[in-house]
Amino acid sequence: MAGNFWQSSHWQQWILDRQDLIRERAPEFTLMSEEEHQKILIFFCNFIQVLGEQLKLRQQVIATAIVYFKRFYARNSLKCVDPLLLAPTSVFLASKVEEFGVISNSRLVNTCLQVVKNKFNYAFTQEFPYRPNHILECEFYLLENMDCCLYVYQPYRPLIQFVQDLGYEEQLLPTAWKMVNDSLRTDCCLMYPPYQIALACLQMSCVAMQKDVKSWFADLGVDMEKLQEICRYILSMYELVRSYDEKKEIQGLLAKMPKPKTQPSRPPSSQQTQDPNNPNNQQDQGGVSVNQPQGGMN
């Protein structure tokens, strides 16, 4: 891992421009609106959060999983990999990178089955369709897409340092921490350094708690316009979430989502296995709902 953020692959390769994000996603906006696309991404970020909590993961691991998920769909269409497969794959990879410990494949899949059945049955009419081999295969696609840039700097550590310096830790930290978590439902983690996200969430927390800290922010010498941009993205996300009933609408949104061309396949028949000349044997055996990423949208 790089000694500091400015030398890291996070800064050098994964701070993206807003217009680049819009351009990459443009083909999807022929099937759905930008707002609907955002609702789908928010839904699956929530899915990752719940899955991580059920697995008793630290928030740092969950946040890294969400960043992996968002990085993938920043450069690929939703039809490239089923988000319901990429979500647990992101959790699986993040748990290893963040040194939480490898989650057993069976435990991960069983937890996904329970989460889909008990927490998100309003969205999915069928059980979780994937098995460990799908997740293991999808992990390679995710690694390839991120160019093995696995270390993610999160806003939590700078947030704690800023709050301690400001001197209102007990009053401000819980609210600001929650806002940092909420910021993961936006594209902020793809566009801004984590210290700026931390400061923006702290600023909103100060406003919510009616703390006058203008002089403290002025002394920091940071780009206040960047902080205001982050605040607007987070507030816009809050307004979007309040404006619709996810439990009633999400099935319709998922139905509009472009689907991968291939679906989880059955194991090859014994005849296929024994016949090396069978062209079907050249296809993906054990199948995963994946179209090969090409570095951009299909």
| Whole-number pLDDT of residue 148 | 80
Task: Report residue 101 as tokens.
Answer: 């410990």
**C-alpha angle 216-63-261 in degrees, rounded to nearest 5:** 140
Share of the chain above pLDDT 70, in %: 86
Report the 10 Å Cβ neighbour count for 38. Answer: 19
Strand stretches in the chain, DSSP E: none
Residue 192: name the closest of 218, 238, 154 by CA. Answer: 154
Query: Per the structure block, which two tokens stand in for 131?
Result: 């098995």
Is residue 208 over pLDDT 60? yes
| Contacts of range 224-227, beta carbons closer than 8 Å, 24 or more positions apart | 226/192, 226/196, 226/200, 227/196, 227/199, 227/200, 227/203
Residues 6+ apart with CB under 8 A from 298: 76, 77, 79, 80, 291
Contact of 124 with 87, CB cutoff 8 Å: no
Crossing angle of helices 224-242 and 34-54, rounded to 10°: 90
Residue pair 186/237 in contact by the 8 Å Cβ criterion: yes
Give backbone dihedrals phi and psi of 261, rounded to 5 degrees, phi first.
Answer: -70, -30
> What pLDDT, on a 0 to 100 scale, did the predictor assign at position 262?
53
Tell me the average pLDDT across 36-65.
Answer: 97
Q: Which residue in 158, 179, 172, 173 sits closest to 222, CA to CA?
A: 158
Q: What is the pLDDT of residues 117-130, one digit of tens each?
A: 999 999 999 999 99
Q: State how far the Cα of 49 lies from the Cα of 173, in Å rounded to an integer.
A: 20
Distance from chain centroid for Cα 189: 9
Question: How do residues 146-179 score in pLDDT, each as one tens digit?
Answer: 888 788 999 999 999 999 999 888 889 999 999 9
How large is the average pLDDT for residues 102-117? 94
At 288 the pLDDT is: 52
Q: What is the percentage of the chain residues whose pLDDT exceeds 90?
A: 69
**Token representation of residue 178:** 């929650």
